[in-house]
Structure 1
């Protein structure tokens, strides 16, 4: 169940991250395409537009400027902040569409690149986390398959089946079976902990041996086989 959760959650996280990164990439491309043929002018912040946000209010600049024909133009900046990033009367650089002067933007890092940076950065982070979880799932599945086909089986003594309160999945805490046996490679007493399960096997395993599949070349590589008691992923 844990590995399946890694796959589902990781895939969703990666998809969400790639979507966010894609939005950031599109915003960056849109800005570069806009700037390619844009004209430049100097404008003045004549007022601040108050907008509602989750944290209260933010303020976006209202900018007046003149296009290449000397015609007065006005637009509202696309990014609001609190406190306001601009003061009334402050001069700002403006870029505008050559054929459509009404399509204008403040030429600043905040207005042009903050959106792509936020979406691209968050998206990349989510995608990396999600893909890491997927890789962990696939690696664990491959390890289990290898141990089932070529692992060295040993009979371990059942110790306990306890709730792992350090992990919560869908509001529930999973169980883990613990057993111990002498490892055939090292000759030392070793504790083996199972993958997460969702039933308490204390009564079922009490006084019974627990089958463990070990990699004879790596004492830390093992699989507690509970297939006789729980459904495998």
Structure 2
């Protein structure tokens, strides 16, 4: 799990660097470009194959404009949509590089920054996923150290080993160990404990009926189930 999240974190950082590169490149393009008007003369239909095998339509506007050398340019937008954003005959604002007029785009926020928006969304999502994992992992380890140092040690009866189907990563779900403990000082109360996620079946490695649990002396609902006796996943 940690290796997967490390890869995701590195990938998100790589995407952020790529976002910075494309953003600087786009800013330089905008700062060195001229703005004129053009006309949409046609809509080019393209097909996008979806993951389920179906195809989706996308309409790319084809536009004409006159550059600073009084030459007519006919270009197709890289960005398409469905339904089409533009219609034939519509007048649009064009931004283009005077040294390379074939490098032209329709001058709106989405068209200019489409690539950067997609990269940015992917980078943020991946960073939040991996960053949250490492953040909560640090908190969990800090809490674990606190319980091992200051918690009350009890032996809880192992009741079951179950698959945590709430979590699925690459088609696999972790296991958890459930146990219960009855405090002799308050015999009417039974406490149920759940271990952290275990990414292999621990059943063959459990040859005991009880498991050590460290509980908060103030609040028994705060606890740590000690699974250090299990082998480590490499």
The TM-score bracket by the shorter chain reads: 0.7 to 0.9
Match of residue 35 from structure 1: 30
Give the 5 Å matches for 1:114-129.
114-129=114-129
CA distance in 1, matches of 2:172, 2:210: 28
Match of residue 15 from structure 1: 10
CA distance in 1, matches of 2:171, 2:112: 41
Q: How many correspondences in the alignment? A: 226
Greater relative CO (CA pairs within 8 A, separation 6+): 1
Task: Call closer, same or farther: CA 1:115–1:184 in 2, change over 3 Å.
Answer: farther
Pairing 1:52–2:47 present: yes
Match of residue 203 from structure 2: 201
Structure 2 residues without counterparts, runs of 5 or longer? 50-54
Following superposition, the deviation at residue 205 of structure 1 comes to 5.0
C-alpha RMSD over aligned residues: 2.8
User: Is the 1:147–1:215 contact (alpha carbons within 8 Å) kept by the matching residues of 2?
Assistant: yes
Following superposition, the deviation at residue 200 of structure 1 comes to 4.7
CA distance in 2, matches of 1:19, 1:147: 37
Task: Call closer, same or farther: CA 1:44–1:152 in 2, change over 3 Å.
Answer: same
Cα deviation code 1:176-196 (max 9, x no counterpart)? 222222459988432111122
TM-score by length of 1: 0.81
Following superposition, the deviation at residue 218 of structure 1 comes to 4.0
CA distance in 1, matches of 2:203, 2:37: 74
Following superposition, the deviation at residue 12 of structure 1 comes to 3.0
User: Is the 1:27–1:116 contact (alpha carbons within 8 Å) kept by the matching residues of 2?
Assistant: yes
User: Is the 2:67–2:98 contact (alpha carbons within 8 Å) kept by the matching residues of 1?
Assistant: no
2:143 alignment partner, SS class: helix
CA distance in 1, matches of 2:169, 2:72: 59
Task: Call closer, same or farther: CA 1:107–1:44 in 2, change over 3 Å.
Answer: same
User: Is the 1:158–1:205 contact (alpha carbons within 8 Å) kept by the matching residues of 2?
Assistant: no
Pairing 1:26–2:28 present: no
CA distance in 2, matches of 1:91, 1:57: 23
CA distance in 1, matches of 2:184, 2:17: 51
User: Is the 1:43–1:91 contact (alpha carbons within 8 Å) kept by the matching residues of 2?
Assistant: yes
Following superposition, the deviation at residue 13 of structure 1 comes to 3.0
CA distance in 2, matches of 1:163, 1:103: 55
Cα deviation code 1:91-110 (max 9, x no counterpart)? 11111112222221111223
CA distance in 1, matches of 2:148, 2:14: 38
CA distance in 2, matches of 1:57, 1:171: 32
